[in-house]
Amino acid sequence: MIFTHTGLMGDFVQTWPIASWYYKQTGEKITFVLADVPCFKDIAELTLRQPFTKDLFKVPHKVENYSMGGQPYKFNPSDFGIKGEYINLGFRDYPRSEWVPYFMAAEWGMGVDLDYVIDVEGTPGSTNDIIINKPFIQSKDAKKIYDDCGKREWGHFMLSTYTPSQSKNLTGATGLYNDLVTMKNAKHTYVSEGGLAVVVDLMDIDYTIYYKEKPDHPGWWMEQVYYKPNNSKRQFIAIPEEVNEPKIYMSFG
């Protein structure tokens, strides 16, 4: 079976509990066909390590905007030479109150594997490290496309201001998968809203996520829609909507 997806990393990872359910139900592995966007540059290693993955391809499907996942999300992978039965997983509307995997799966009458844990090497809590993973800051052009609400600036501010001083900052220099191994082994991890938080949420590790409430993204909605229900190892810390924007001075490439 082919699963297509056009969203960014966090939205794509939300398809994995669906893929796990499908694999357990049918025994058939998934070939993922993704719109080729910059944030997927090192997602392949992690995806191919999951037990339900057969293969992964990135194709030049044109994504017009990311205001509601990647739109348009429906396309035929055979247009790019990848033939077979396929399912377009994406956002047909804004999720109202249900976890994103449930929302995407419902369109196709599929289920979700609530027991799914992302397969990453390591042993949770095997080191005493306190890990902070600050979001990288994008260029002005990329910010307009992928992050117009400024969550990366807020994440950088919160993880620079409200985390323990005795902690280890990850730089991303060794790649996504190696950073995830470090986080899995750590005593605790701090992240901010975004695709990485979605990955960590499905890793069954102790972590804290900071996020900024916004008028169209109240805290209850953010927590209920984007993150796994009843994750006892997760702590949310929200910056209220009325707090002014942080003064962050960065050099854009």
**Paired tokens of 106:** 């419902």
* SS3 at position 72: coil
| Strands (E) located in 38-172 | 53-59, 86-88, 130-132, 168-169
Output the pLDDT for position 148: 47
**Per-domain residue ranges of the chain:** 2-106, 130-239
Average pLDDT, the chain: 86
Kindly compute the dihedral angle of the four CA atoms of residues 9, 48, 171, 200, in this order, to the nearest 10 degrees. 60
pLDDT at 247 over 70: no
Output the pLDDT for position 246: 54
Q: Give the model confidence (pLDDT) of 115-162 as tens digits.
A: 999 999 999 999 999 998 876 544 454 444 434 455 667 777 778 777
Is the distance from CB of 208 to CB of 148 less than 8 angstroms? Answer: no
Roughly how many angstroms between the first and final C-alpha of the chain, as a whole number? 40
Window from 72-86, 97-111, 162-176 with minimum mean pLDDT: 162-176
Window from 3-7, 35-39, 123-127, 145-149 with minimum mean pLDDT: 145-149
* SS3 at position 191: strand
- Which burial class, exposed, middle or buried, applies to 157 when counting CB atoms under 10 A from its CB (0-12, 13-18, 19+)? buried
Q: Give the model confidence (pLDDT) of 61-77 as tens digits.
A: 999 988 888 899 999 99
Output the pLDDT for position 188: 95
Output the pLDDT for position 253: 26
Output the pLDDT for position 42: 77
